[in-house]
Amino acid sequence: MGAHHPPLQRTPPRTRPQLLSSHHPKARHPVSTTKFRKKPVEIEAMEFVGSPREATKIIDWALKSGGTIRYHDEGSREHLSINTLEGTMTASVGDWVIRGVQGEFYPCTPDIFAATYEEVR
């Protein structure tokens, strides 16, 4: 004799909450944004220009600070794998490797780097 199972019960479908724009008469609080400016912080960075020798400089720099970076040469595509706070990320030739304010390492494309950072003299 098989085990007795209670009959399956269907749960009513969930209704999604209605989103109201700030101009809707039932909206309690108008939606507004606040502008923020990035704090001026100093970071350290090295550009990955390709080649095992240049990769070794970046890897040694990261190791001294507790970071993990690996060099890969897959035919015509050299790149670095960087352990970041968000998981493993890739730096391609021409990208910058940044050590952030908490000592974390991450890649940055040249266009974003140029728009965000300027050299400290």
Burial 27-49 (b: 16+ CB within 10 A, else e): eeeeeeeeeeeeeeeeeeebbbe
| CA-only gyration radius of the chain, Å | 25
- Domain presence at residue 114: no
> Whole domain around residue 92: which residue ranges?
40-96
Instruction: List the end-to-end C-alpha distance of the chain, in Å, as a whole number.
Output: 84
Q: What are phi and psi of 98, to 5 degrees?
A: -110, 140
Q: Which residue has the higher pLDDT, 45 or 30?
A: 45
| Structural domains in the chain (count) | 1
Query: What pTM was estimated for this model as a whole?
Result: 0.70
Residue 66 has pLDDT above 60, yes or no: yes
Q: Is residue 81 part of a domain?
A: yes
Is 96 strand, coil or helix? strand
Confidence of residue 25 (pLDDT cuts 50, 70, 90): low
Per the CB < 8 A criterion, the answer to whether 63 and 73 are in contact is: no
Q: Report if residue 60 sits inside a domain.
A: yes
Percent of the chain at pLDDT > 70 equals 75
Residue 68 included in any domain:
yes
**In a domain? residue 109:** no
Query: What whole-number distance in Å separates Cα of residue 103 and Cα of residue 57?
Result: 17
What pLDDT, on the 0 to 100 scale, is given for residue 42? 92
